[in-house]
Amino acid sequence: MRVILLNERRAERDAMVRALPQDTYRVEAVGDETAALAAIAREAPQVVVFSVPSKGGQDLARRLRGGENAAEAYLLAVVEATPVNKELSNLITAGVHDFMRRPFADGELLERVKAPERLLRWSRSVSKPNAFDFSAALDVSTLRSWRTLGQLVAEDLGEMAGAPFAVSQGYPAQLNGEAPCASIPMSLAGDQLELRLSIVADPAAAKWIRETLLGDPAAPETAVRDALRELANTAGGALKRAALNESITLTTGIPRDDSSTRFPGKHQCWSLKLEGGAGCLAVVGEVRTRSNERISAAQLSEGMVLAHDIRSEGGVLIVPAGSRLTATSANRLAAMLGPRYFLEVAPAA
Amino acid sequence: MTARVMVIDDSMLVRRQVSAALKTPGYLVTEAVDGVDALEKLAGLSDTKLIVCDVNMPRMNGIELLEKLSAQGSAVPVVMLTTEGQPELIQRARSLGAKGWIVKPFKPEFLVATAAKLAPLGA
Amino acid sequence: MDQHLMDVAIELFAAYDVPIAQCAAPSEEGLGRETYCMSSIGYVGNGVKGVLILAATRAAAEAWTSAAGGMECDLVDTVGEFSNMLLGRLKGRLLKAGIPISLATPLTVIGDGLRLSVAPGASSWQFFEGPGWHLGTRLDPAFEAGFQREATAAAPAEAGDAILF
């Protein structure tokens, strides 16, 4: 970390240099503003520590911060024991981040200079997922199983249909407006994500469902929707098994009727055409973020997905992370754990 | 002679497909929509020779049903019919006494062969 | 298991565009003198347990941190994370090989001249070199008497599969 020290008091300046370990900090110590600005212009510092003069401290702070190289530097002002009037608030307005009062104790400068490192790490962990952040959500687009979802689903649905589907990317043009749609939610509770697979049928596909899958051309709408739900279930199974090969475990929910006109999450679509123009199904894969909730065991209910393992006091696994609760298991856990036990869950889809 | 099979799945389509596959060789098929419904019906059907059961169902899933049946000391063989393929889940079902695992979409001839092995007609 | 470890190590670093290659073991003194950080993660399966050890030079820790966009102060975290990722990849391979394992959280230490004392086991050090740095790993699995690979297929069952127990 590069640190610029501006202090006209030589003895104090030398002491400050000695207080910062050389193997961690590259310190350039200067005695006046001109030298400080030149040092900043040469190489951007992460931290600027400067002694506040008796007058014009606010303007000095602005000039130190003014250059392009110092725009993101952490400014640490060294002030007298009893700063006058509104000196501190004026310095804050000018862009100073922290203060040290004279005389400063041993080690205080080092701790103050370490503060921006801690803040940067915290800031990265909450705003910028990276490879080293346990809380960073999985980037689903990197999964091969997600990228080839259309083909995966087509293979399994083709088995059901007894004939292959022709797959192409994109939402079928003929599917405008509302159409029969079923979806299945698939939870990644640990990553606070929900994948949603939807299957939409055009009128010809709905006819095919009646005649071929149900074997009843007069089958009611409810039967068609039930069949579509099972198609969504099959699609979800195909994705889940493929994701398992990439060491990603999805928790499958219960398929349900859904709307074909709203896909609010980040999504991708495929068109699956039945042989001989018998109809077309749309496959839509969506990624939605779903914040987990921390709730009492007494509030567990069907459909929630556990975000972490539940273990006994002895460490024995009772229920693994990723388990989807049914009414049966929710009641059992509530009775076993009691209302004072809190857990993190993904809410029911 | 016939044998009764109970198919448990929240999807009517699957229940219909299993029924169609098993009625052809002569099985008698009863349907249930989830584990709770199945337990209620099984209590009144002592001649059930085979259970074909989904895993992911509302109210009580297939694994929980296996736990219940095992606790009751049921001797009726259970075959899971599901989209799940996780080895851990398969192992869990096996340890709870399940006799087989079929991954959807299923081939009707496999289902019939499984039924013939576990609940032969005329036995 | 050592072969799998070697494969996943090469695979992991390749994912960060850092090609590594197996190399000869440095001398005992060399390893001890250069080792700057060491990470350990325990693992356990049915009839097997052990500890993954990852030992690296400071140059290695700095290079990995840089490859992943971290800061100098992240070296300890970086080494812990790489050992976690390494064992995570190994877990996937072992699952397919019929050896499912569970992992503990990594413990990482840094310091100059770290040395590790290990009893003779089923594993030995595997050394790799990257651009200007070195890395050593070992697994030390201890198998219980009668250990057998899991009987069920380690890969997920496929659509249409019918398994009778």
pLDDT, block means (10 residues), chain C with 165 residues: 79 74 67 76 87 87 74 72 78 76 81 73 75 85 77 68 87
Residue A131 has pLDDT above 50, yes or no: no
pLDDT tens, residue by residue, A193-245: 999 999 999 999 999 999 989 989 999 999 999 999 999 999 999 999 999 88
- pTM tops 0.80: no
Give the residue numbers spanning the domain of A255: 140-289
| Structure token pair of residue B72 | 């009751």
Residue A145 lies in a domain: yes
Instruction: Name A313's Cβ contacts closer than 8 Å, sequence gap at least 6.
Output: none
Q: Which of C152, C154, C158 sits opposite B103 (nearest CB)?
A: C158
- Flag whether residue C154 sits within 8 Å of chain B, measured between CB atoms: yes
Distance CA B43, CA A93 (A): 77
Same-domain check for residues A101 and A186: no
Domain end (from A249, A271, A289): A289
Of the candidates B17, B39, B44, the residue with the CA atom closest to the CA atom of residue B107: B17
Same-domain check for residues A152 and A62: no
Chain A residues with CB inside 8 Å of C70's CB? 130, 132
Spell out the domains of chain B, with CATH numbers in brackets: 4-118 (3.40.50.2300)
Same-domain check for residues A12 and A85: yes
| Chain C neighbours, 3+ Cβ pairs < 8 A | A, B
Instruction: Name A317's Cβ contacts closer than 8 Å, sequence gap at least 6.
Output: A309, A310, A311
Pick left, alpha or beta for residue A262 (phi over 0 → left; psi -120 to 50 → alpha; otherwise beta).
Answer: beta
Residue A319 lies in a domain: yes
Instruction: Name C135's Cβ contacts closer than 8 Å, sequence gap at least 6.
Output: C9, C20, C54, C55, C56, C57, C60, C127, C128, C129
Of the candidates B54, B57, B6, the residue with the CA atom closest to the CA atom of residue B28: B6
Residue A109 has pLDDT above 50, yes or no: yes
**Closest residue in chain A to residue C94, using alpha carbons only:** A247
Same-domain check for residues A111 and A159: no
Chain B residues with CB inside 8 Å of C163's CB? 90, 100-102
pLDDT tens, residue by residue, B63-83: 999 999 999 999 999 999 998
Contact A132 C81 (CB under 8 A): yes
Same-domain check for residues A201 and A326: no
Same-domain check for residues A223 and A182: yes
Distance CA A344, CA A304 (A): 10
What pairs with residue A99 in β-bridges? A77
Same-domain check for residues A27 and A76: yes
Same-domain check for residues A145 and A10: no
| Structure token pair of residue C100 | 């499912």
Structural domain count, chain A? 3
Residue A340 lies in a domain: yes
Contact B30, B6 (CB under 8 A): yes
The complex scores an ipTM of: 0.85
Distance CA A13, CA A59 (A): 21
Candidate CATH numbers 3.30.1360.200, 3.40.1280.10, 3.40.1550.10, 3.30.360.10; the one for domain C2-141: 3.40.1550.10
Domain-wise residue ranges, chain C: 2-141
Domain end (from A252, A273, A289): A289
Average pLDDT (B28-40) is 96
- Flag whether residue A1 sits within 8 Å of chain C, measured between CB atoms: yes
Residue A135 lies in a domain: no
Residue A132 lies in a domain: no
Average pLDDT (A65-72) is 78
Contact B58 A244 (CB under 8 A): no
First to last CA, chain C: 28
Contact A84, A53 (CB under 8 A): no
Chain B residues with CB inside 8 Å of C100's CB? 87-88
Can you point out the beta strands (E) in chain A?
2-6, 26-30, 47-51, 74-79, 98-101, 166-169, 181-188, 193-201, 251-252, 256-257, 266-273, 280-289, 293-296, 305-306, 310-311, 317-319, 342-346
Average pLDDT, chain A: 86
Same-domain check for residues A318 and A283: no
Provide the 3-class DSSP secondary structure of residue B98: coil
| Chain A neighbours, 3+ Cβ pairs < 8 A | B, C
**Closest residue in chain B to residue A302, using alpha carbons only:** B59
Same-domain check for residues A115 and A220: no
Cβ contacts below 8 Å, chain B against chain C, sum to 60
